[in-house]
Structure 1
């Protein structure tokens, strides 16, 4: 979710669910160690619980970046060894590290020695020609032995040679059963599943087999789905009944950000799918696209866009 789940997105998503654990976009260890830490790692206190996701392979750098993240107050540090993009592969982090479980384990051990918060690993079931039965077990057992507090497993192989990252979203097929088998083999290790899960009902079904479910594109592209997380997964009342209520609760944050010089579009770009399936959704998107990018655009633009959405909510209208 690089360039997607930034701080503005996470504040928005937190208003949709109190309980879900939110993740940052993947940040490289080099950027954190040498870059503008406040810009990269700063977040709103409302985001908790929130995990920092790291990309990197050098154990010393991972430990330093984890320490910096923990000092910022993140609730969990996650190392991503599942992202298949060329940008990631060229930097020797992401899914290519599935081929080096011992190196990943050394990174986990270094991070565990550096921080007190949980350290977790996000991975694939394998890459390229690896046998998922062997590759996933090898990685999982190595990182757990090194102290990992849990795994998030994307249930699809990453193809680093021959497929683009976009093609890899659909090919090869998802294999949820492989993740279930890992959980059965490691009953004491918290294991979450990820990949192609489109809604909260699907997530609930997976929870019969694993400990957690990570939503990525579904949560971003149709964020209204998250309104069902608290009542349907945690058995607690939703904090807001409708998307319009969520936006009203978001207004003070947006006003504060605008006062600090943030452009409206930097925030509203995360709202594109908010009313998916409701009459007026297209007009809402168009109005924001045409007016939200203008210099000096303010809350009046967002309010005008919301007013174009007709009665009805996505959770009622969309499948």
Structure 2
């Protein structure tokens, strides 16, 4: 089994980390581990579309699965391995009602034996890593003992890699959005976990917004996973390889990023796709710079129009330069 560098990864984010965003992210960082949006086993097994498509350039790329039926998860993991994914990750962290009704996501933290069974079923049929992403607890079950009991049972099934969102999930009374912000962050608990389970690969997630913060976390854990910041301010990825992996390479400029995206955009449009499928992920590229609002507005107002092509991207750059 080839090893995957988990120093820095981008969190699976529904409706955001699709294949177009991942291609865009890969241009800025060659080392970052990329995750798909969560895909349910039901969508893969019964859905009409291709939920496993990705570009070869995206490697290393992991599929995040949502589900709790060991046989279905094994079937989907096998398909993912056949398609060339580098890892399959089981979602044990999403708190939404829809997810609970399907008996997967964060509510599975209360059923570690079932999670272990799911992991084991997947490991039986693939030789790529099977990993788990969870919270530090759920509802009133948020003691350190609750977390370690979960880790004990699941790691006994052969899972060696865990990414822990350093907040508990409130399954009742909070929306998924509120669950990303209201429960308090408890990084110390994840650090403690790594100390007590030094033989496991432990990554941390939740509220991380800079590479400086990432470096600080990496003194205590094996990996850092960044979510919303990597989406709203994607240029944070441009220095990941240099700062976190020690790679001696020039930092790519925003202009070079756009230049490298243009052939990809042209292929997508030639295949019948629309410009805004891709540019919606690029809106934050100039975040914090003078003229960035003009860039965002121009793309937002024009990329969805019928027949819109790469000239819209060029014009958006011009609009930004005029307003710097």
* TM norm structure 2: 0.93
Candidates 9, 15, 20, aligned match of 2:21: 9
CA shift, 1:2, in A, is 1.0
CA shift, 1:93, in A, is 0.8
2:32 alignment counterpart: 20
Q: Distance in 2 between matches of 1:300 and 1:40?
A: 30
Q: Distance in 2 between matches of 1:118 and 1:204?
A: 25
CA shift, 1:35, in A, is 2.0
List aligned pairs for 1:1-319, cutoff 5 A. Answer: 1-36=13-48, 39-238=50-249, 240-310=251-321
CA shift, 1:186, in A, is 0.5
Give the root-mean-square deviation of aligned CA atoms: 1.6
Contact 1:76 1:119 in 2 (8 A): yes
Q: Distance in 2 between matches of 1:244 and 1:159?
A: 42
* TM norm structure 1: 0.95
Deviations 1:199-232 (A, max 9, x none): 1111111000000000111111110111110010
Q: Distance in 2 between matches of 1:227 and 1:143?
A: 35
Q: Secondary structure at the match of 1:172?
A: coil
Q: Secondary structure at the match of 1:193?
A: strand
Q: Distance in 1 between matches of 2:19 and 2:220?
A: 32
Distance 1:256 1:63, change over 3 A: same
Distance 1:237 1:249, change over 3 A: farther
CA shift, 1:125, in A, is 0.2
CA shift, 1:131, in A, is 2.7
Contact 1:57 1:92 in 2 (8 A): yes
Q: Distance in 2 between matches of 1:34 and 1:133?
A: 38
Distance 1:242 1:71, change over 3 A: same
Q: Distance in 2 between matches of 1:171 and 1:292?
A: 34
CA shift, 1:77, in A, is 0.4
CA shift, 1:235, in A, is 0.9
Question: Which structure is richer in relative contact order (CA contacts within 8 A, separation 6 or more)?
Answer: 2
Paired residue total: 312
Q: Secondary structure at the match of 1:276?
A: coil
CA shift, 1:85, in A, is 1.4
Contact 1:206 1:213 in 2 (8 A): yes
Q: Distance in 2 between matches of 1:288 and 1:239?
A: 28
Q: Distance in 2 between matches of 1:228 and 1:86?
A: 37
Q: Secondary structure at the match of 1:27?
A: strand
Q: Secondary structure at the match of 2:280?
A: helix
Q: Distance in 2 between matches of 1:238 and 1:216?
A: 25
Q: Distance in 2 between matches of 1:281 and 1:147?
A: 47
Q: Distance in 2 between matches of 1:237 and 1:288?
A: 33
